[in-house]
Structure 1
């Protein structure tokens, strides 16, 4: 099992969710986060004063999958989140040792 963590631009969330749904990935967790990478941040004007926004709004998506789904999930997310501009995001894949569905007691692959 793998845990896929994705950091993307907020306006791409629905595109990614829909694309994952199309390949039968229906369970995911979404968190609104702030951060920066090479994009660094940007300057904005507020009431005539310029200030720097160091942390940009992003969305973090977490998806637990079985190993066989990994290649399809990565390709799907990459395609759906792509804009071609700096700040498109990152995908992190980590091993997932154990999963339990609380309601039924199912474990590991069956719990996903």
Structure 2
């Protein structure tokens, strides 16, 4: 299986993976800096983990190794902090299609 080519991932983002809620609010893992990605400004209705329709304002495409569960904090290339709404892993074993991860953010 091939992966999305690195030369397409022109932006760099930082991710703080969501670990869950605690008595003091949401918990996040260690910040991962300089993650290669392709970031696109969008305005698209998507469903969150609870099934509610929300407006996504950024779409991120990254390599298949990206770990970014819904609820993660993402610092976009323009400095804006976004929250991951949904994560989709795209694979096509046996086909000449690159594997990638797509993250929709609000």
* More helix, by proportion: 1
Higher relative contact order (CA 8 A, sep 6+): 1
The TM-score, its normalising length taken from structure 1, stands at: 0.36
More strand by share: 2
Normalising by structure 2, report the TM-score.
Answer: 0.37
Larger radius of gyration: 1
